[in-house]
Every structure is written in C-alpha cells, then in structure tokens.
A and B are shown apart, each in its own frame.
Chain A
Amino acid sequence: MTITEKILARSSGKERLSPGDVIFSKVDRVMMHDVSGPGVIKVFSEWEKKGVKIDRIWDPDRVWVTEDHFVPAADRVSAENVIALSNFTKKFGIKKHFKYGLGQYGICHTLSHEEAMVLPGEVYVGGDSHTNTTGAMGAFAAGLGHTDIAYVLMNGQIWFKVPETMMFRIEGNMPDYLMAKDIILQIIGDIGTDGANYRTMQFAGDVVKRLTVEERLTLTNMTTEAGAKNGIIEPDETTYAYLRERTDAPYTPAHGDSDAEYSEVFTYEIEKIEPTVAKPFSPGNITVARELQGTELDKAYIGSCTGAKLEDLREAAKVLKGKHVKIRTEVLPAAQSIYMKALKEGLINIFVEAGAVVGPPTCGACCGAHMGVLGKGEVCVSTTNRNFPGRMGHVESQTYLASPMVVAASAITGKITDPRDVTN
C-alpha cells in the first residue's frame, strides 16, 4: 500500500484498502477559517431550526481556527464574520483560535506547519481547497466544503473514496535559480489542471529528499491546481527535525510499502526545468520565464500560502537586495511568526529599502478579496497559486504565476524576468 492508503486504512480500521474503496475515516485534525467557519455556523443554525440541539462538538481539542481571508476586516460583513467565529469557538470550547492582531495568526496552510497543528500519519481535513498543502508533513490532508466540515465537527468522521496515487520523482541537483514552484508549475503544465482529478500526487526523488519542509509545502500546495484529492510526501528526518523545533506531541508516522502500486510514475530531471511561469488564465498555461521576457507588468505580489513562507521571502530578498523595484510591489508574510523571523533576518529591511510595501499576513489580494486587488487591465506577477479570470481583482486583469525569485526579478525590471538575468 502507498502512504495514503496506509493512513486511510488505519483511520478506517481496515487491514487493506485499494483505490476506489469508499470508506468512512476517522479524522485527527480539522481546520476552518473566516470563510468556511461562518458557513459551518450557518449549517449548525439550520439544524437547530430543524430542532436538532447542538451543545457540544465531537472534540474541540482537535479543531483549530484562523482568521485569514478577510482580515484586517475588509468591511462590516467581514468584521461580523470574525465576531461570529469568535462566538462559535468560545461556545464550543475550541482553544486554538488564531486571531488577527493577537500574537500569532496567519494563513491557515502556513499555521498548520508553523504551529505543528498537523502531524505525520494523521488525517487532516480543512475548509479550504489548499488543505492539500499540509500533506508535505506526511499526513493525509484534503480540502472539504463547509457542510462536510460541519459533519466532521459533529461526528469526527467523513467519507472518502480511496484515491489512486500518481508518483512524481524529481531527480538530480537543484540549481540555485530554481525553486519548488518551478517544479510544480512544470508538472501542472504537463498533466493539466484536471490531470490528477480525484487522485493523490506523491513526490519523491533526490531533489525532494533534499528540499526543506517549506519548499516541499509548495509542491503539495499546488496539487490542488491539478485537481488532486491530496498531495503527500513521505516524512523523513527533515520533517521530524522541523517538528522537533515546534512540538513534543507524539505521533505515529506512516510509510508506503516497497511494493506499493502507483497508477503512474513520472520522473523529472531537475536540470531540464527552467524558471517557469503560468500565463493567464490557468495554472497549467505554462512557459519558461525567458519566453515572456519583456511582458510589461503593473504589480508584483509576494504573498499567500504558496509563496510567502520564510524561505520564499529569503529567496526574494536575495534577488531584491540593494535593488529598486520598478512596479508596485507588495510583500505579505504568510504568518506573524514568519514576519518576525523575516524582521530578525533583515529581510523586511531589504524589501522596504527596495521600495516595496510590506503588509500584514492575509489572503487578501490572493483571492481578489481586498488589500490590493487588481484594477481593469492591470497585469500582475505573483507567487500565489491561481490565475483564473478575476482571481486577483477585475475579470479583465491578468495574473502570471511564478516563483518568489522570478517575481522579485520581475519587480526590479517591471517586466517578466528570469532571475538569472538580473544578477550583479
């Protein structure tokens, strides 16, 4: 069995599982934020209207909540959603509620690893499609809608169809101008935005083995853009070391068998990959950055669960150090803890000195909600994960997706730029 099958077999009390089996699985962790949370609250209140009395949930200690999409409150409705969320967590005794402006908070898929909210071998569901991200910790991590999350809060279980696993091996030595973002964009370009529908995308190989936890998270984050149910990486010493710095909670990792069956195996030679960009309006619409050289931009965005982890900021800062941006550039660290580390390492100085604006952690403009959305006709290069029409603002705006290095290089020239073309 693969690692995904092993985890799901354990969580559903089965000896063996095969792709296609439909199971009810126990859940170890569940997350909701200021968009899915109010949806859950609405489902609860509808049940109550039907006469179901809900005075407790299955296990408040396994639930965690953050405020990320519409903070700082974009308007009154957003403010009220956050109030409703606070009332909910208070009522049901959910202690792990990360609040905007109150110490640590940030984007859900960043807190999940920064705060070790999810551990290897666990089944983790979140009310957000990029919940897949946390599979890089060796967990089964999948996104669900708010009815499903409400169901989990009541029952501690949810149904899954056991997915087939597609294996992606990345081999070779990672060149210093590449990032995990280039790899995953290349893969999505190759298999298409429905290329992994209902399936698992697992990553392995020499390159993945040597990637840091944060870079691995970029790979699993964008499995969502290929339609995958989950992305996963086998936990190893890198994972365990990362967790040791953050928690002493016990866990039981799972590993795939040596004879595990994969529906397909893809092998990539890293040296053949180049800094890659997804053009509007699909994450699968890729080309190499140099091919787009000269494409005029209005804005560079370094933010989101995909591209504003500490390492993303470090790589962007390396490119921006001592340079000046030519277009509007925004940097939004993905969580307060990352903001703080970036501050201590001097990265924030580099960004501000380069002329960029540094904002608070938020999903904000990544989903076109607030805090710097694009106007009609504007063109943006972004470290985020989606570039559908209207994703970051006006339907007639355009977003190019790229690695933090490419975005930083492009900020300097005002045009799409390969990082190799701006070095001193």
Chain B
Amino acid sequence: MNKILKGRVHKYDRDNIDTDVIIPGPYLKIHDHKELAKHAMEGIDPKFPEKVSQGDFLVTGANFGCGSSREHAPIALSQTGIKAILAPSFARIFYRNAVDGGYLLPIEVDEATFKKVSDGDELEIDLAHNAITNLTRNERYAMKPFPELVARIVEAGGLMNFKPVS
C-alpha cells in the first residue's frame, strides 16, 4: 500500500448517496470490472467516469454508499481510477466492501474539512500520519485514523491476504 496518495478532488455535495445511484440495479448482473466502471455514479452524473483520472479522490456528504450490499459499487468507483473517498461517514457494508476487497480507501473526515475541500482541488493524503494537505489551498486537515484491524487489512491489501485471528 502506497502511504502517500496524491490526486484531484471530485466533489458531490450531497448526503446519503446510495448504491442504486452509484451503480444502478440493471448492472448487477455484470461482473466484468472494467465494464462496471463505465456506469459508475450513473444515477448522479453519467459523465463521472470520463472526468476521473487514475489516483483521484471522491469527496461526498455523510452516509456514502447506503443501500445494498453490492460490491459492484466500490469496484466500479475504483475502476474509474478513484483511490480514496473522503466523507463525514460511510454506510457499513460499503465501508467493509471497500476495505475487505482492497478496492479503495474510505476516509472519514469531519464536517469542516468536508466543507473546505472544493471540486478540482489537489490533495495529498499521508496515511502514515493521518494527514491531508490541500495543495491548491495550502491547508492541512486531519483524517480519522483507521481502526486497528481495518488498518491491518488495508496494509494487507484486502481481507483475502489476511488470516483469521481467533
């Protein structure tokens, strides 16, 4: 896992962005990851996949990823190039799927940070120090550290590379 991430922000200022919007129901039969990426965020912004470059960040409102357990959601987003999502909170299955599948990082930030970051900003995220630098605005923010087990799964690159610890 690269400890320093750098990319541009795509911001959607909306709470409760659900999995039906991230990847609509008819695409659930698709299991080709590249194909899924073409429909990422289709319910909110059909142009989303074209806008994203490898390594970019998604910044959204609270309770991101609520709704279904479809792992298609983090897969589709990660395949567009998104490396991390910054939000005040995440829905639980989306959070687990993102981490356990090793697709992208769900990073919790506080409301104030969420408000300060704008669409198009360049960010640098230092995972070792839980610090976010806004290169465009020359500001620094804190991120909520990952809980210990989550940090270890992230480190391992996903749950598959992780042995049960009981």
Pairwise interchain contact B91-A197, C-beta atoms closer than 8 A: yes
Is B96 an interface position by the 8 A CB rule? Answer: yes
CB neighbors of B among A122-145 (8 A): 127-129, 131, 143-145
In the complex, how many residue pairs between chain A and chain B have their CB atoms under 8 Å apart? 132
Q: Which of A41, A144, A157, A368 contacts B20 (CB 8 A)?
A: A368
Contacts of A41 in B (CB 8 A): 31
Residue of B nearest to A74 (CB): B29
Are A161 and B147 touching (Cβ within 8 A)? yes
How far, in angstroms, from A182 to B62 measured CA to CA in the complex? 26
Residues in B neighbouring A198, C-beta threshold 8 A:
92
> A70 and B29: CB pair below 8 A?
yes
Complex-state Cα separation, A70 to B26, whole angstroms = 9
The stretch that binds A, out of B49-57, B119-127, B129-137, B158-166, is: B158-166
A247 contacts chain B at the CB level, 8 A cutoff? no
Task: Determine whether the beta carbon of A129 is less than 8 Å from that of B159.
Answer: no
Which of B66-74, B77-85, B110-118 forms part of the interface with chain A? B66-74
State A147–B153 Cα separation when bound (angstroms): 13
Closest A residue to B91 by beta carbon equals A227
B145 sits at the interface (CB 8 A): no
B28: which of A147, A155, A367 is its contact (CB, 8 Å)?
Answer: A367
Q: Are A197 and B160 in contact (CB under 8 A)?
A: no
Number of chain B residues close to chain A: CB under 8 A = 38
**Interface pick from A32-40, A93-101, A303-311:** A32-40
Task: Tell me if A410 is interfacial: C-beta within 8 Å of chain B.
Answer: no
Given known A194-B63, A229-B92, A390-B24, contact A35–B29 (CB-CB < 8 A): yes
A78 touches B (CB below 8 Å): yes
Tell whether, in the assembled complex, residue B29 and residue A22 are in contact, meaning their CB atoms are under 8 Å apart. Answer: no
Does any Cβ of B come within 8 Å of A242's Cβ? no
- Is A13 engaged at the interface, CB distance under 8 Å to the other chain? yes
A390 touches B164 (CB 8 A): no
Assess whether B101 is in contact with A194, with CB atoms less than 8 Å apart: no
Beyond A157-B166, A282-B16, whether A22 also contacts B148 by CB under 8 A is yes
How far is the CB of B87 from the nearest CB of chain A, in Å? 11
**Cβ of B69 to closest chain A Cβ, rounded Å:** 4
Residues of A within 8 A of B70 (CB): 35, 145
A157 to B97 CA separation, bound complex (whole angstroms): 16
Q: Mark B4-41, 1 if CB is under 8 A from A, else 0.
A: 00000000000010101100111011110000000000
A144 touches B166 (CB 8 A): no
Any B CB within 8 A of the CB of A349:
no
* Bound: A24/B165 CA distance, A: 7
For the complex formed, measure the closest distance between the CB of A212 and the CB atoms of chain B, giving whole angstroms.
Answer: 27
Q: 0/1 per residue, B41-65, Cβ < 8 Å to A?
A: 0010000000000000000001100
| Residues in A whose Cβ lies below 8 Å from that of B165 | 24
Interface set of A (CB-CB < 8 Å, partner B):
12-13, 22-26, 35-36, 38-39, 41-43, 47, 69-70, 74-75, 77-78, 81, 127-129, 131, 143-148, 150-151, 155, 157, 159, 161, 193-194, 197-198, 227, 229, 282, 367-370, 386, 388-391, 395
18 extra interchain contacts, Cβ-Cβ under 8 A, other than A157-B164, A390-B24? Answer: A12-B166, A22-B148, A22-B149, A36-B69, A127-B69, A143-B93, A145-B70, A145-B96, A151-B160, A161-B147, A194-B91, A197-B63, A197-B92, A367-B68, A369-B25, A386-B67, A388-B67, A389-B20
B interface, CB within 8 angstroms of A: 16, 18, 20-21, 24-26, 28-31, 43, 62-63, 66-72, 89, 91-93, 96-97, 100-101, 147-149, 158-160, 164-166
